[in-house]
Amino acid sequence: MPMDQFGLFDEPSSARDEVRVEPKITDEQVQKLREAFASAGISSMDERKAIIESCTVRPVATIREVYAHETPRILRRIEEHRNYTGPSTGCAWDTREEDTWIDRM
């Protein structure tokens, strides 16, 4: 195979030497996360860590280890947590909105 053509798994040597560095979280993003946690009433560091790690899918010792691109996902998860009303109680029959034919009998 000529040098200017690559197979499916071949890479030019310059591509192998490149290391992609992900940008870390900014101070502004840290502040947004802290405000979102406070707004959602999440004050436990263990709970905050669990939410962050559920989004990053890797262990995170401090908030500064979060990558900038992960912040929006974490903010959405915090918002979901804040809006969660808990499991619905009762059964579908008891909580139905409209009368059925059997109710009209």
Rounded to whole angstroms, the Cα distance separating 10 from 24 reads 30
* Domain extents in the chain: 21-83
Rounded to whole angstroms, the Cα distance separating 74 from 76 reads 5
Who has greater pLDDT, 18 or 82? 82
Query: Is the whole-model pTM more than 0.75?
Result: no
24 three-class SS: strand
pLDDT digits (tens, 9 = 90+) for 1-20: 555 566 666 666 555 556 77
What the block records as the tokens of 90 is 């009762």
Range 56-76 average pLDDT: 95
Residue 88: the pLDDT is 65
Burial of 66 by CB count in 10 Å (0-12 exposed, 13-18 middle, 19+ buried)?
buried
